[in-house]
Amino acid sequence: MKCKYNMKLFLYLSNLLFLTIFSSSIANAGVFFAIAPAMITVDTENGSTRPLVADIRLAYEIEKHQLELAVMSSINEDKLNQLTVDIPSITSVFYRYSPYYEDRLKIHVILGASQIDVDSTYPNTADSTDSFEGISFGVGVEEAFISIPELKLKLDWIQLYRGDKLNINALSLGLRYEF
């Protein structure tokens, strides 16, 4: 039941984003695309691993507010002793608010929801795939290039999932282009 509710919420927000993108007439509004490699830190009681993912986002911005759809997919797995951890997919919806906005620099507060799939392999045991869903939060910084103001360098730190014995964080550094 919980998964169906989260999927309905995700589809609702996705449709709302796309309807807003194609029907807006606000002067300071716009669509943007972002891509970045991201290091995912999977922290447990016994240690942590850091697989890499490709972070791709489609978003809509109105002045200090942004709504993003993020899809992340595995680039590289990581090992801790003999345990291999991979992140085949992460799907997220993020709301970003910019409390600090200067000519070329923005600082964002990020809030959202994420679903993270984690594959783990250990010798002589069955492979496992676990899915984690939860509230996400973080901070981000963007700086526009002087020569191409539509192109921005972005850095995000987001806690994708927080549990009793497991935390999953993302650190990404990439580019954003405004259409």
Per-residue pLDDT of the chain (179 residues; tens, 9 = 90+): 455 556 666 666 666 665 555 554 455 568 999 999 999 999 988 889 999 999 999 999 888 899 999 999 999 998 888 889 999 999 999 999 999 888 789 999 999 999 999 999 988 888 899 999 999 999 999 999 989 888 999 999 999 999 989 999 999 999 999 88
DSSP assignment letter at 51: -
Query: Residue 88 has what pLDDT?
Result: 95
User: What is the C-alpha to C-alpha distance for residues 126 and 177, in angstroms, rounded to an integer?
Assistant: 43
Sign of the CA dihedral with 105 first, then 109, 111, and 117 last: positive
> What pLDDT score does 157 carry?
98
Query: Which CATH architecture group holds 2-178?
Result: Beta Barrel (2.40)
Domain-wise residue ranges, the chain: 2-178
Those residues whose C-beta lies under 8 Å from the C-beta of residue 124, and which sit 6 or more positions away, are none
3-state class (DSSP) for residue 8: helix
Are the beta carbons of 85 and 47 closer than 8 angstroms?
Answer: no
- The CA distance from 157 to 164, in Å, is 20
Q: What is the pTM of this model?
A: 0.81
Pull the structure tokens for residue 177: 């282009």
Cα dihedral 33→56→113→32 (10° resolution): 0
CA distance linking residue 137 with residue 100, whole number of Å: 17
For position 19, what pLDDT does the model report? Answer: 56
pLDDT at 1: 45
SS3 at position 55: strand
